[in-house]
Structure 1
């Protein structure tokens, strides 16, 4: 879908190990975004980071392998479509 007018960017941060109904959460979110017809989404795997749920730094360094690296999902579309996406993404990450 092409964005007409001004687009909005939504960033969703999850862990690589987060799951939704048995599949990686980031994959489930992107699949749902596609099903809902959003204009575009990109998944970016981080090499290091930590989140609110853990003060441990997760890293991809060879000597400190991590199974829960940060994952960023970027979504672009019109503001009202992003708002609808936020609603179902919030349910998926609970």
Structure 2
């Protein structure tokens, strides 16, 4: 299990819900690559409204013509590990915004399994 406390780096990737990588959602590819890279965790958040460089408003309101809602993928780990992952994001994110923020991890724990060990199977998120 990854242990993470103290100073860390958060990368937030803002993309569209309809963005794809080889016919699957881009956010899924980012999360799976983060897991393969051994990063501490990744979570995907779906926005209800927003706009970016295109200046087109994307919204979940019923009468709107737009369905390509904003999506934020958030990954937190040590600075070295996050920076080592950035070349993969450069390959994947052709449209969107990638933000780095210094942060402090106060608590990072997984669920306990029946033996009292943390980690294991189940949901994983930040």
Same fold (TM over 0.5): yes
2:33 is paired with a residue whose SS is helix
In 2, Cα distance between equivalents of 1:4 and 1:64: 43
Corresponding residue of 1:42? 43
Q: CA RMSD in A?
A: 1.2
In 2, Cα distance between equivalents of 1:91 and 1:12: 13
Corresponding residue of 1:81? 81
Runs of 4 or more, structure 1, over 3 Å off, are none
Q: Is 2:68 the counterpart of 1:68?
A: yes
Q: Calculate the TM-score normalised by the size of structure 1.
A: 0.92
1:1-94 to structure 2, matched below 5 A, reads 1-52=2-53, 54-94=54-94
What are the ranges of 5 or more consecutive residues in structure 2 without an aligned counterpart? 95-126
Decide which structure has greater helix share.
1
In 1, Cα distance between equivalents of 2:27 and 2:87: 16
In 1, Cα distance between equivalents of 2:33 and 2:67: 24
Give the Å deviation of 1:48.
0.3
What are the ranges of 5 or more consecutive residues in structure 1 without an aligned counterpart? none
1:55 is paired with a residue whose SS is coil
Corresponding residue of 2:112? none
Decide which structure has greater strand share.
1
